[in-house]
Amino acid sequence: MIDKADTILVGIISDTHGRLTNAALVAFAECDHIIHAGDIGLPGVLHSLEALAPVTAVLGNNDFDEYGARVQRFAHPVIGGVRFLVAHYPSDVRIGWNGGPGIAPGDPIPRVCVHGHTHIPEIVAGKEARPADYIVCPGSVTFPRGGSFPSVAKLEIAGGRVARVWIEEIE
């Protein structure tokens, strides 16, 4: 049995486009780390998220260099022993036998790949996610598309492994 005190909760958000809703902040209130997968929109969005937990963020197609050198096209955080690859575009987190845009041949394989851009929430696991365990798109809290709802994703890490991944609808 996993002790909740030994778990890490990661909140995943994307495509805020300068608007961070109160519901999103409430959804991340208990998160230990937050990932923003691009199209941040304004530095204030990151500042608000950083008030809750450490943030890893990447640039989206609507972002510029206003976030400084710490926000780039790709991020490779290791959180609770789990390696991530974060990018804005879905194609940037696809890994082939010769690597991919966000990972070079011979680099350690991420267990979780996170992207934004589509504004449609999705969790891909198993064969379709390989060589990673999961590909996660949180959707968008402000501009959902494709009949989806405003959403974020969450991921629970326990014992250096992903214990659970889910999409959470927010108001």
The residues, ordered by sequence, that sit 6+ positions from 96 with a Cβ below 8 Å of its Cβ are none
pLDDT tens digit sequence for 29-72: 999 999 999 999 999 999 999 999 999 999 999 998 889 888 99
From residue 7, alpha-carbon distances to 11, 16, 19, 76 in Å are 13, 27, 29, 20
The total domain count for the chain is 1
Name 148's bridge partners.
Answer: none
**What pTM value is reported for the model?**
0.95
Contact yes or no for 70/58 (Cβ under 8 A): no
pLDDT tens digit sequence for 60-79: 999 988 898 889 999 999 99
Range of the domain at 53: 4-169
Written as six digits, the tokens of 123 are 């969790």
pLDDT band at 2 (very low <50, low <70, confident <90, very high): low
- Whole-angstrom Cα distance, residue 110 to residue 67? 25
CATH code of 86's domain: 3.60.21.10
- Whole-angstrom Cα distance, residue 50 to residue 76? 18
